[in-house]
Amino acid sequence: MNRNPDRDTLFSPFRLGPITLRNRFIRAGANEGMVLDSAPTRALLEHHRSMAAGGVGLTTVAYGAVAKVGRTLPNQVWMRAEILPDLKALADAVHAEGGAISYQLTHGGSFVTSVKVEGPTMSASGGFNKAGFMRGNLRQRAMTRADMDLVIGQFVAAAELCAQAGFDAVEIHMGHGYLLNQFISPLSNKRRDEYGGSAENRARFPAEVLRRVKEKVGQRMAVLAKINVADGVPGGATVDDAIVTARLLQQAGADLLVLSGGRNIESGWFMFGSNFDMDEMKKVLKGSWLTGLMMKAAQFGTPKVSFREMYFLEYSRRIRAAVDVPLGYLGGARSLANAEQAVAEGFDALVMARPLIHDPKLIDKFRRGETAVSGCTNCNRCIPYIYHPAGTMCVLNPPNDPALNRVRAAG
């Protein structure tokens, strides 16, 4: 029987920093909406347990805000010592199924769409805050060196908390318009000091964050970063900027870079490779007129985009050719053939979210030869469910049990 070397690579153990994954499939961080009292719920535990039971090597828990003011939505985890039992329960559940677990650490900065923050929000630059004005966060201020030191300390403390809870990795989110991306992207960064101007200067602070996290936990945990291959809109960061960012993060000690793209406000269609289903959004957000209005405003001027597989591949190839750091391919992988192509082109891991939300058992089905293609239809109707009381789900599946989202993970 002829063996497929790329398939063998996908399903072989993968050394990631100080840890070893059972394979090269990673469940991407994507907001789950499974939070109670800013702590993980039993729904979140079961969601990621199912990912591990279904065969992924590493599952990524989305959006752990490193500070209370770093939340974008009220139903997001705020990383603090009080939730350590919930974090431990989450890690233990994934480990019991043979998988590894990562927490995505994030600070929203000025991207605070559903939480009122006292005073101007922090960002790379000051001025009007278009992301937060509907919630009364009208102004943003340019971070000082003291602010940067504070935020670095918050990322380090959050990573240490994850290590105490038994997590295998942390992923520092530097894309999609959140705080660290507000430094990287010229759409947000108008600074004239050593943290603004050139692509190297704009990536300087995010690289500092990763370096400090790596120094604190890098002997015990893998330290990943999620970056944009491009912002996808005129005036935004380009793939050439992404190459500079990737090189700086390689120097800072990143164990793997997850290559995403787009910004939540300016180019969500670029991030997902297709348009949102606004009818499903209206259905889920019924009664939440303000959030619905914000989502509708974000769609103004959005181009019509048809989904295509591997939609970030051309950008990601450029980055692969420019750096030696391990890279995780993300963006439109829907089949075993897509995964094999990614490995054949030199990517070290295959990262996906929507196909695994549709079918958490997909990786084991790939491995056993039961299927070679995901049943995900790329409809994006799962996205609005981060606002639903039961949390994110695929609309092609039975609905989630809302009761699981009303009890904390360690409850």
Structure tokens at 86: 């919930």
CA 240/CA 237 separation, integer angstroms: 8
Contact 313, 320 (CB under 8 A): no
Amino acid at 38: S
Bridge partners of residue 77, in order along the sequence: 64
Residue with token string 């660290």: 180
CA atoms within 13 A on the CB side of 5: 3
Amino acid at 340: E
Q: Is 17 exposed, middle or buried (0-12, 13-18, 19+ CB in 10 A)?
A: buried
Q: What is the DSSP string of 66-122?
A: SSGGG-SSSSSEE--GGGHHHHHHHHHHHHHTT-EEEEEEE--TT--SSS--SSSEE
Strands 127-128 and 58-65 turn out to be unpaired
Q: Which residues are catalytic?
A: 178
Dihedral sign computed on CA atoms, order 342, 343, 345, 349 = positive
The set of long-range contacts for 401-405, using a CB threshold of 8 Å and a minimum separation of 24, is 401/43, 404/34, 404/41, 404/42, 404/43, 404/46, 405/33, 405/34, 405/36, 405/41, 405/42, 405/43
Strands 35-36 and 39-40 turn out to be antiparallel
Start-to-end CA span in the chain (Å):
50
Structure tokens at 197: 């101007």
Closest by CA to 380, choosing from 284, 236, 263, 258, is 284
User: How far is CA 162 from its chain centroid?
Assistant: 16
Contact 202, 248 (CB under 8 A): no
Q: For residue 31, which phi and psi values (nearest 5 degrees)?
A: -45, 125
Q: For residue 173, which phi and psi values (nearest 5 degrees)?
A: -85, 115
Q: How many CB atoms lie within 10 A of CB 163?
A: 17
